[in-house]
């Protein structure tokens, strides 16, 4: 019991406790382990929240993108993480991903494929299923909106060209970028990817809307149709 008592975060010095450290120094000065510990809130009788967070991050080699891929069942396999804690972690990571895709969206200009990747990587890169998104742009290539069009399984998703064009027209877009993720980690486009890109490009041109690019995104890399000369 003595060892358990000594292990409690409340017995640490104030400058070492995650909550007090955040209040004193600001959230950006906390490590990933300390941030996850705050989400977990508490540990077990033998393991405090910081140690529990360290164990959780150790499962994914401290890669937050990989942590985002874990589902509730994966999280609750760790002793001390029940459904409530797992849900809190999943919800917090989802907020982070949504913030990365929508943060100051109206101020974002798309100048190249790297800009698209920066905008969308956090949203779809870590997923374990495919999602297809459209990014609508105005004449200055300022982002108007990013919208998920469809969601599929591990190997594909159904894409409705009419839905894409209707969304672009609703947003009064003059150009658009499409992107989807490959959970396999392989950035190379499939024949189906190439075919749907051509179909969307031709349909968009009938509406005087330019398809600027199509990106295949993974957790740490991407393939650009425009960069590879596949939108000619």
What's the average model confidence in pLDDT over 61-69?
A: 86
- Helix runs in the chain, H state only: 2-6, 18-25, 32-40, 49-58, 64-69, 72-75, 83-102, 113-124, 161-170, 191-206
C-alpha distances out from residue 125 to 39, 118, 120, 174, 184, Å: 23, 10, 7, 26, 10
**3-state secondary structure (DSSP) of residue 52:** helix
What's the average model confidence in pLDDT over 147-157?
A: 77
Q: Write down the pLDDT at residue 131.
A: 93
Q: Write down the pLDDT at residue 212.
A: 97
2 CB contacts (<8 Å, ≥6 apart)? none
What's the average model confidence in pLDDT over 24-40?
A: 90
For the chain, residues classed under CATH 3.40.140.10 are: 104-224
Higher pLDDT, 220 or 11: 220
Question: Any idea what DSSP says for residue 17?
Answer: S
Question: Is the domain defined by 104-224 classed in CATH 2.40.30.10?
Answer: no
- Say which residue the tokens 């508490």 belong to: 42
pTM assigned to the model: 0.59
Q: Give the tens place of pLDDT for each residue, 88-129.
A: 999 998 888 777 655 445 568 899 999 999 999 988 998 889
Question: Any idea what DSSP says for residue 105?
Answer: G
Residue 154 has pLDDT above 70, yes or no: no
Cβ pair 65, 56 in contact under 8 A: no
Q: Write down the pLDDT at residue 213.
A: 98
Rg of the chain (C-alpha set): 22
Distance (Å, whole) CA 167 – CA 27: 38
Residue 16 has pLDDT above 80, yes or no: no
Residue 17 has pLDDT above 80, yes or no: yes
Residue 3 has pLDDT above 50, yes or no: no
What's the average model confidence in pLDDT over 53-57?
A: 93
């Amino acid at each position: 019991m003595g060892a358990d008592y000594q292990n409690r975060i409340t017995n640490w010095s104030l400058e070492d406790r995650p909550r007090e450290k955040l209040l004193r120094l600001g959230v950006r000065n906390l490590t990933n382990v300390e941030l996850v510990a705050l989400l977990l809130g508490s540990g077990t009788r033998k393991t405090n929240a910081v140690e529990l967070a360290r164990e959780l991050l150790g499962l994914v080699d401290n890669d937050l993108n990989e942590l985002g891929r874990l589902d509730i069942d994966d999280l609750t396999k760790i002793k001390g993480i029940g459904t409530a804690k797992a849900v809190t972690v999943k919800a917090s990571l989802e907020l982070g991903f949504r913030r990365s895709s929508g943060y100051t969206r109206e101020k974002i200009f798309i100048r190249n494929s790297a800009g698209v990747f920066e905008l969308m990587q956090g949203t779809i890169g870590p997923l374990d299923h495919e999602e297809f998104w459209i990014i609508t742009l105005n004449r200055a290539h300022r982002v108007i909106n990013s919208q998920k069009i469809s969601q599929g399984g591990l190997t594909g998703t159904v894409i409705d060209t009419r839905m894409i064009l209707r969304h672009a027209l609703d947003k009064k877009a003059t150009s658009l970028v499409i992107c989807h993720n490959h959970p396999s980690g392989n950035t190379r486009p499939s024949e189906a990817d190439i075919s749907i890109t051509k179909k969307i490009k031709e349909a968009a041109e009938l509406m005087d809307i330019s398809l600027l690019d199509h990106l295949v995104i993974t957790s740490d890399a991407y393939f650009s149709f425009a960069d590879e000369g596949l939108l000619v």
